[in-house]
């Protein structure tokens, strides 16, 4: 009796060693990717704990302390409105990660669904979708995102939508190609033979098999989404003042008072570069670990 109970371990426990070994192998084989993951975790924790660790209110003006250089009171100085640069950087991490994750996951999921459905049903709808996607990927991401902002207007939510939508044709083409090859597999044919409907085949048999390229695309999108958020906010067409966003911190007064207050321009750019770098490196390592065929 007791013997039986011991061997019949709950499934969650039975699975965990396997997962741990995958993680262990990733850490051993992808040291750069592991460092990148730690950096991203640190940025995420910083953003999450922003209200407790930021020394100042990120949107509070202090006209008695404008353009204060890095000092004991303001480690990274203050901006043209006397706002603490370090506090704005810490809160900016929230904006960057929120927009980055929401846009990448949203865009990739929508694109993947469209791709799988197109691959399953084929026919004229697929043809039209395919042509449209072919044309849309001939525009640089930022041009597409800006064109969508022109329709939706600026603001954080519209920015997320614009970035997400500009990712859709890119992932749609990749997922469609993967799904097309899966569609020809014998097990899909077998599922149809035993009477499975199209939705059951799509969600039970095709979707689980495009998860690897999907994850690879999502991680590749993350860095690009954060860079796009920064670029659009810098242009004044993304996140609106006074919200703390790294790209926004680099626009206007940061360039105008470049010589007087260089810290306003140096630190936000550094934050963007480090974050995007970490996501790109992690993305490359994940791609190598998950799906070496996608290596470029």
Residues 6+ apart with CB under 8 A from 205: 182, 187, 188, 191, 196
- 104 belongs to the binding site for other proteins (CB under 8 A): no
Residue by residue, what is the 3-state secondary structure of 160-226? HHHHHHHHHHHHHHHHHHHHHHHHCCHHHHHHHHCCCCHHHHHHHHHHHHHHHHHHHHHHHHHHHHH
In the complex, least distance from residue 234 CB atom to other proteins, rounded to whole angstroms? 6
Is residue 156 helix, strand or coil?
A: helix
Q: How far is CA 236 from the centre of its chain?
A: 21
Site map 108..137 versus other proteins, x via CB under 8 A: -----------------------xx--xx-
Q: Does 42 bind other proteins (CB under 8 A)?
A: no
Q: Does 138 bind other proteins (CB under 8 A)?
A: yes
Provide the 10 A C-beta neighbour count for residue 128.
Answer: 11
Residues 213-232, one symbol each (x = binds other proteins by CB under 8 A, - = not), give ----------x---x--xx-
27 part of the interface to other proteins, by CB under 8 A? no
CA neighbor of 166 nearest in space, from 94, 270, 238, 241: 238
Q: How far apart are CA 294 and CA 156, in angstroms?
A: 32
2 vs 296, beta carbon nearer other proteins: 296
Mask: binding to other proteins, 262-291, rule CB under 8 A, as x and -?
x--xx-xx--xxx-xx--xx----------
Q: Is 162 in the site for other proteins (CB under 8 A)?
A: no
For position 177 contacting other proteins by CB under 8 A, the verdict is: no
Backbone angles phi, psi at 55, to 5 degrees: -70, -25
**Residue 173 engages other proteins in binding (rule: CB under 8 A):** no
Residue 255 makes contact with other proteins by CB under 8 A: yes
What span, in angstroms and rounded, lies between the C-alpha atoms of 109 and 128? 20
Size of the site for other proteins (CB under 8 A): 43
Residues engaged in binding other proteins (CB under 8 A): 131-132, 135-136, 138-143, 146-147, 149-151, 153, 223, 227, 230-231, 234-237, 247, 250, 254-255, 258-259, 262, 265-266, 268-269, 272-274, 276-277, 280-281, 296
């Amino acid at each position: 009796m007791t013997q039986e109970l011991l061997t019949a371990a709950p499934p969650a426990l039975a699975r965990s060693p396997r997962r741990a070994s995958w993680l262990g192998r990733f850490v051993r084989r992808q040291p750069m990717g592991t460092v990148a993951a730690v950096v991203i975790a640190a940025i995420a924790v910083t953003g999450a704990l922003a209200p407790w660790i930021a020394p100042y209110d990120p949107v509070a003006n202090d006209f008695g302390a404008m353009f204060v250089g890095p000092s004991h009171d303001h480690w990274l100085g203050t901006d043209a409105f006397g706002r603490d640069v370090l506090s704005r950087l810490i809160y900016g991490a929230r904006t960057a990660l929120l927009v980055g994750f929401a846009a990448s996951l949203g865009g990739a999921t929508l694109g993947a669904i469209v791709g799988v459905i197109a691959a399953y049903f084929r026919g004229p709808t697929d043809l039209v979708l395919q042509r449209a996607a072919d044309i849309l990927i001939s525009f640089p991401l930022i041009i597409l995102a800006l064109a969508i902002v022109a329709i939706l207007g600026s603001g954080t939510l519209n920015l997320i939508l614009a970035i997400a939508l500009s990712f859709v044709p890119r992932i749609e083409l990749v997922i469609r190609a993967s799904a097309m090859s899966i569609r020809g597999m014998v097990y899909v044919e077998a599922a149809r033979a035993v009477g499975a409907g199209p939705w059951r085949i799509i969600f039970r048999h095709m979707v689980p098999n495009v998860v690897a390229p999907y994850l690879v695309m999502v991680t590749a999108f993350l860095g690009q989404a954060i860079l796009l958020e920064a670029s659009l906010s810098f242009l004044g067409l993304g996140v609106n003042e006074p919200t703390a966003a790294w790209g926004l911190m680099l626009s206007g007064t940061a360039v105008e008072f470049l010589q007087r207050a260089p810290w306003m321009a140096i630190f936000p750019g550094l934050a963007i570069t480090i974050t995007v770098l970490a996501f790109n490196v992690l993305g490359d390592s994940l791609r190598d670990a998950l799906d070496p065929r996608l290596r470029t």
